[in-house]
Amino acid sequence: MPLRNLIIIGSGPAGLTAAIYAARANLSPLIIQGLEPGGQLTLTALVENYPGFAEGIDGSALMGEMRKQAERFGADIIPDRAVRVSLASSPFKVSTDEQEHETRSLIIASGASSTLLGLESEKKLMGRGVSTCATCDAAFFRGKNVVVVGGGDLALEDALFLTRFASRVTVIHRRDKLRASKILQERAFSNRKIDFAWDSVVESILDPEKGRVTGVRIKNVKTGVLTDTLCNGVFVAIGHKPNTEIFRGQLDMDEKGYIKTSRGTSTSVTGVFAAGDVRDPIYRQAITAAGSGCMAALDAQHYLESIDLKNS
């Protein structure tokens, strides 16, 4: 395989934005799209907070347009996944299921995955009332009843944010006490819009046959009693996991596995950059991912220019 100037791992907003900028800089980037082409945004039926779309846009359609834009400028996208990398020295090696590639620089935009309940009904109703992003989707539930599944900081942050829109928020937690920080617990307990279903788990989400969420079936883990609760939305808030396993031991990460960056998007290995949710445990928005993708492409371009200048 030819030596590449730049390989981008991931094809969400960060990866494709990086590809657009890199391709326009004549770097001829190779994008390894991964198992989820387009990233988590493809699970969102309507994106209303991405600038430039006054009426909103389907998440899959938005990512499709980004992909076309990257390809228009010469980016090469392959339907494969990165399974192994070697970052000990340049050129870096990236192995997929099909072959090994070598590159002078690398942008990691492999994203983060939401931890899900694992229910078939959850999968069928994702983007149709089931969400993993309160900040993204809360406005769709103005004046409606919703539930939040979880008991940590993420769950209570989502629940409190949702009270700005929903008429009632029920937090479902499998234990009889929360794991969230004390200050968040105090805010949630004092909020009149928030109720709690303790010692409970979601058995199923109703109703896939109708193509929308109409309620949840909850099981009390102590008594075994099943209860149906009417609601219009389900927010799963039990955590996120950055997709960084293949980089473990080769790049500096925080305790949760998010890649540490400095001086923009630079990682602990010179010539390797990180963009999007893979380095961002806080914002996790399409627009912030796209912005860091732009930064990573510019950082990679400047890095390559500096190497070429030294060798000239």
Write out the residue range of the structural domain in which residue 91 sits. Answer: 3-114+240-311
Whether residues 163 and 79 share a domain: the answer is no
- Of the three residues 191, 206, 236, the one that is the final residue of a domain is 236
Mean pLDDT, 10 residues at a time, over the chain (312 residues)?
Answer: 94 97 97 85 76 89 95 95 95 94 97 90 93 88 97 91 96 94 94 96 95 96 95 93 95 96 96 96 90 98 92 74
Whether residues 156 and 127 share a domain: the answer is yes
Quote the pLDDT of residue 27: 96
- Of the three residues 236, 254, 276, the one that is the final residue of a domain is 236
In which region does residue 199 sit, left (phi positive, over 0), alpha (psi from -120 to 50) or beta (all else)?
left
Handedness of CA 143, 145, 148, 151 (dihedral sign): positive
Whether residues 124 and 223 share a domain: the answer is yes
* Catalytic residue chosen out of the listed positions 76, 80, 136, 207: 136
- Of the three residues 214, 236, 258, the one that is the final residue of a domain is 236
* Catalytic residue chosen out of the listed positions 58, 76, 97, 137: 137
**CATH number of the domain where residue 230 is located:** 3.50.50.60
* Catalytic residue chosen out of the listed positions 80, 133, 231, 299: 133
Q: How many domains does the chain have?
A: 2
Q: What pTM, to 2 d.p., does this model score?
A: 0.79
Whether residues 43 and 189 share a domain: the answer is no
Quote the pLDDT of residue 43: 66
H-helix or E-strand containing 310? helix 286-311
Whether residues 281 and 189 share a domain: the answer is no
Quote the pLDDT of residue 282: 85
Whether residues 82 and 163 share a domain: the answer is no
- Do strands 100-108 and 272-274 pair parallel, antiparallel, or not at all (unpaired)? parallel
Whether residues 19 and 71 share a domain: the answer is yes
Whether residues 141 and 93 share a domain: the answer is no
133 catalytic? Reply is: yes
